[in-house]
């Protein structure tokens, strides 16, 4: 099932509500590249010798690692639909009962690659909306370079910590692998001469809901005061609200996104790894919801 109505973001003067059902799983044929009424499907393949992925090569390139289906329906409903599925046989090699941590991270990288590749155009538009302009993220970080330095240090800290033991660090490793894959997939779709996306920029884009907190923590007081007046949208304390309604034979979940018009490009995503999945409202190029609107295989909302 898809969201029952399209969602939109609003100015401070108005709100609108997204109604979503409890689960969406997109169906897509396992083909190399298939365009049809169900959207575009790509198979991401992995070449172990070169340690690279491709979403356009045939089976001679390497084994299938992930399948991505993309329904470009934003102009129809206000939402694109993205479904990413890691191939089970890629995650667990023959003879393995459970996939190794290295193989799981590789599957996350494959999924990220496929999403960056197949949603490239929408990612570029969404990042332009976020970074450009007198109140964009680029202008904010230009005036508060301490925040950019903090983010660089934070990324290095995470990279150094990702091999520590424990489930938290294992998932950190997976998400950083997904970030790497998305950057690579996006860049593989660039036309000749276009500027490449780097990992730090995509991380900053994914941290946009927290960027105001970071600037508050590291910027000079006199700079912060000016920025809060010139770019208030990065420093607001509220972001979203939610509604749950139980009826006789169903349950409805609603979500209101309190944000600027620059973030109106929305995507409804499902990631599946083995018998686990998460479905969420999100944005092009975002590895997480940002709205904090999740539904999981364990029926957690």
Q: Which helix (H) or strand (E) holds 295?
A: strand 294-296
Burial class for 246, CB neighbours closer than 10 Å (0-12, 13-18, 19+): exposed
Helix, strand, coil percentages, rounded to 5, for the chain: 40, 25, 40
Cβ pair 18, 38 in contact under 8 A: no
Cβ pair 252, 3 in contact under 8 A: no
For each of the domains in the chain, give its residue range(s) and CATH number, in order of start.
18-296 (3.60.60.30)
Helices (H) and strands (E) in the chain, counts: 10, 11
| Bridge partners for 66 per DSSP | 44, 86
Unique residue bearing structure tokens 């949208």 = 233
Q: What is the pLDDT of residues 7-49, one digit of tens each?
A: 333 332 222 222 222 232 333 222 233 444 568 999 999 999 9
pLDDT reported for residue 11: 32
Tokens linked to 183 = 């950057």
Cβ pair 32, 43 in contact under 8 A: yes
CA–CA gap between residue 198 and residue 183 (Å, rounded): 6
Q: What is the pLDDT of residues 221-269, one digit of tens each?
A: 889 999 999 998 888 766 778 888 999 999 888 888 888 888 889 999 9
Closest CA to 68 of 118, 24, 16: 118
For the chain, percent of residues with pLDDT exceeding 90:
64
Q: What is the pLDDT of residues 121-148, one digit of tens each?
A: 999 999 999 999 999 999 999 999 999 9
Tokens linked to 298 = 């364990």
pLDDT reported for residue 2: 36
Determine the distance from the C-alpha atom of residue 248 to the mean position of all C-alpha atoms in its chain, rounded to a whole number.
35
DSSP-derived secondary structure for 236-287: -S--EEEEEEEETTEEEEEEEE---GGG--EEEEEEEETTEEEEEEE-TT-S
CA–CA gap between residue 189 and residue 113 (Å, rounded): 11
Contacts of 44-48 with C-beta under 8 Å, sequence gap 24+, read 44/68, 44/110, 44/111, 44/113, 44/114, 44/117, 44/185, 46/90, 46/106, 46/110
For the chain, percent of residues with pLDDT exceeding 70:
86
Residue 111 has pLDDT above 90, yes or no: yes
């Amino acid at each position: 099932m898809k969201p029952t109505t399209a969602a939109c973001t609003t100015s401070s003067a108005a709100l609108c509500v997204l109604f979503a059902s409890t689960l969406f799983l997109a169906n897509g044929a396992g083909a190399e590249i298939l365009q049809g009424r169900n959207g575009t499907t790509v198979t991401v393949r992995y070449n172990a010798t070169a340690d690279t992925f491709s979403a356009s090569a045939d089976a001679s390139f390497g084994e299938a690692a992930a399948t991505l289906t993309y329904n470009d329906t934003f102009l129809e409903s206000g939402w694109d639909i993205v479904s990413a599925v890691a191939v089970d046989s890629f995650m667990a090699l023959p003879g393995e009962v459970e996939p190794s941590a290295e193989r799981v991270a590789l599957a996350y990288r494959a999924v990220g690659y496929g999403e960056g590749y197949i949603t490239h155009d929408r990612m570029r538009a969404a990042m332009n909306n976020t970074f450009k302009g007198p109140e964009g993220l680029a202008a904010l970080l230009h005036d508060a370079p301490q925040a950019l330095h903090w983010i660089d240090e934070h990324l290095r800290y995470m990279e150094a910590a990702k091999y520590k033991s424990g489930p938290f660090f294992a998932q950190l490793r997976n998400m950083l692998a997904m970030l790497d894959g998305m950057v690579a997939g996006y860049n593989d779709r660039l036309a000749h001469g276009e500027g490449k996306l780097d990992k730090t920029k995509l991380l900053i884009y994914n941290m946009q809901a927290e960027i105001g907190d970071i600037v508050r923590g590291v910027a000079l007081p006199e700079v912060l005061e000016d920025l809060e007046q010139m770019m208030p949208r990065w420093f607001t304390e509220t972001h979203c609200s939610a509604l749950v309604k139980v009826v006789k034979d169903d349950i409805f979940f609603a979500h209101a996104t309190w944000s600027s018009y620059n973030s109106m490009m929305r995507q409804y995503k499902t990631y599946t790894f083995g018998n686990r999945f998460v479905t969420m409202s999100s944005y092009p190029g975002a590895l997480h919801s940002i709205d904090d609107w999740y539904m999981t295989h364990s029926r957690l909302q």
